[in-house]
Amino acid sequence: MLQLPQNPDVAIVGATGAVGREMLAILEQRAFPISKLRLFASPRSVGTRIPFRGESIACEALEHGMPSGVDLVLFSAGKGISKEWAPKFRAAGALVVDNSSAFRADPACPLVVPEVNPHALAAIDLPAIIANPNCSTIIALVAVTPLHRAIGLERMVAATYQAASGAGAAAMAELESQAHAFANGTPMDTTIFGRQYLFNVFSHNSSVGPDGYNEEERKLLTETRRMWESDAVRISATCVRVPTLRAHAEALHLEFARATSEDEVRALLAKAPGVQVVDDRAGNKFPEPLAAAGGDDVLVGRIRMDHSVAGNRGVALFVCGDQIRKGAALNAIQIAECFMPAGAGPKGGVHLTSRVGTAVGAAR
């Protein structure tokens, strides 16, 4: 597998959005080595300056920035922008990690969660486009994949409780504005979802197909099968929006090929990368969106046998993960880290000096 330079030139497309800004924060937190950073945004945000490592970087318009001389591009600007510009950056020699749905079904573009299928990157030659899966799929599979590998999952029934963050910064702002409007007794802005979001739960706002499943629900099926490289697993999902700002929650009912136990499931989850077990029955403490928000791990709890499945083959879980971080920005950066030379960046804990900032501290 070809690697990025020790100190790559990096670009973020969609830098002013919720995920784009989170990408910047994570790059700084993980001391990702960068030689030069370019930020691209919509025309209305051109000239907006964003702080990074002690500097202030102005956002550019893609139309005015030739996509040459960039080693790594992180996209979070929507499907249309990705379809138009990601191939241009790849043609100019860059590794592109795309956060939209534009390339998730493209067999030439790996669909990757590093904790789930890092082997999909082994045969990739740079330049390339790599797709980030859907946020709800990422959060579910970080928790379920170690169980699937050890016990063999045959069926998963998922119910997701998805935060405003999944619809972007504007949706988060609308939910906050509705809370203020309720407190002040004034009319609520319903521009984003066309309905009151505060104190409400409604079906996910993606399009519904002729079979009655919406796009978000279909992604859990198709993306899981692609990353697990198997069409055998049976999946049914119901995805809804809940009035939380950040971090998605999911209730997962799992049916395995053989008998298992709570002890086995707990032991597998306790050593799984990217998972934190939060399962205190006595204290009634389990995963919550507020606890998951701002964190990198997927929180897993409510671990119990599902007695509706015969032969001790059923397990129920409740999981929470930060959609903006692990469900989007963090996963993209973890993919990029897989292409960094040994000893560089977060994994090596090195000190670097960037042209866009001052000395970078040792990685966590």
Active site residues: 135, 248
Residue 363: CB atoms within 10 A of its CB come to: 18
Nearest to 130 by CA among 186, 89, 187, 70: 89
The residue type of 274 is G
Helices (H), the chain: 18-29, 79-91, 135-151, 169-184, 215-228, 262-270, 289-292, 330-337
Measured CA distances, 102 to 97, 99, 107 (Å): 11, 8, 12
Sign of CA dihedral 320, 103, 91, 82: negative
The residue type of 126 is L
CA distance 67 to 89: 5
Nearest to 207 by CA among 220, 222, 217, 194: 217
Measured CA distances, 112 to 65, 99, 103, 245 (Å): 28, 11, 11, 26
